[in-house]
Amino acid sequence: MPNVWCKQYGEGMKLNRLLFTTLVSAILLVASLSAFAEPDPKLWSVVKEAFFENREMKEVDFIKIAAPRRAESGAQVPVTYSVDNAAANGVVIKKLYAFVDANPIPLTATYHLTDLLGNFQLSTRIRFETDAFVRLVGETADGKLYLASREIRAAGGCGGTVDGDEAAIRASAGKIKFKVDDPVKIGDVTAATFNIKHPMRTGLQRELVSQGFVPAFYIKKAEFNYNGKSVMTIDVGVGTAEDPYFKFNFVPDAPGKLEVVATDNEGKSFTQEVEVKG
């Protein structure tokens, strides 16, 4: 696995390379046996040790994952993540790590949260290479970890072949649709939807004719700000589906502008803003 992936997803975590290599080997073996392999709960212990070495983690019900039990496509699996602040009983989640534990690159995204989100709720679409568990790990400011899990049946979303006019694909990459739902009530929950055109090449896909690996090409970060204050930053991984989609709630504290800056792994940035009126 290229070191650049480990650097992107590290975020200060020291990955155990031996465990990570063992994880990938096990996943590829399982995937080769069946397109719809039974989700293996034992994979999580390997992923957990690789990303959160020797750290205690508590399973909770105030972090929630809503998703279909079986998805129509492993390339586009809809999920909704949420944190119930009232049920958390004083636990404040500052960071959420989203994993698909049987993917070759398990970490799909990391969400950096702020108070402007209120009760965190976000819908997105992710990829599955084979049947697996989605795992959400919440982290507090003092480093305590909390876990939620959900089993989903889906396959074939990370590898495979790609085809099409590469020049046209790159020309359209970065086109953004960004909106805030009406009506807006200042000081109340408001929904925002962000969608960016991008192929999200994983680096594991092969070109249809040559069968050579297609280089990784993906959105790696999306930063949302409101009136100059951070709302949320997402470290986006290649486990996020093509044309990344994020619908989330936030609480505007005054009329103003919601802005997004998205950056890809080649250093290109894409910006858009939407005016929010009370």
Q: Taking a C-beta distance cutoff of 8 angstroms, is the pair 148, 66 a contact?
A: no
Per-residue pLDDT at 19? 45
Q: How confident is the model at residue 240 (pLDDT cuts 50, 70, 90)?
A: very high
Per-residue pLDDT at 128? 93
Q: Taking a C-beta distance cutoff of 8 angstroms, is the pair 154, 73 a contact?
A: yes
Rounded Cα–Cα distance for residues 21 and 117 (Å):
36
**145-167 average pLDDT score:** 83
Per-residue pLDDT at 166? 79
Per-residue pLDDT at 37? 62
**199-226 average pLDDT score:** 86
Per-residue pLDDT at 89? 95
Residue 32 has pLDDT above 60, yes or no: no
- Name the DSSP class of 4: H
Per-residue pLDDT at 24? 47
The per-residue DSSP string of 58-121 comes to EE-SSEEEE--SB-S-TTSEEEEEEE-TTTTTT----EEEEEETTSSS-EEEEEEE-GGGSS-E
Q: How confident is the model at residue 34 (pLDDT cuts 50, 70, 90)?
A: very low
Q: Could you check whether the bond before residue 68 is cis, i.e. omega within 30 degrees of 0?
A: no
Per-residue pLDDT at 35? 43
What's the one-letter identity of residue 176? Answer: I
**102-121 average pLDDT score:** 96
The structure tokens listed for 21 are: 């290599």
- Name the CATH code of domain 3-276 (choices 3.20.20.370, 2.60.40.10, 3.40.190.10, 3.40.640.10): 2.60.40.10
Residue 25 has pLDDT above 50, yes or no: no
Q: How confident is the model at residue 229 (pLDDT cuts 50, 70, 90)?
A: very high
Per-residue pLDDT at 170? 87
Residue 5 has pLDDT above 80, yes or no: no
Residue 73 has pLDDT above 60, yes or no: yes
**Mean pLDDT, all residues of the chain:** 86
Question: CA angle, 71 as apex, 134 and 193 as ends, to 5°?
Answer: 75
Q: Look at the pTM and tell me if it is higher than 0.75.
A: yes
- Range with lowest mean pLDDT among 19-28, 114-123, 161-170, 187-196: 19-28
Question: Where exactly are the structural domains of the chain?
Answer: 3-276
Per-residue pLDDT at 161? 66
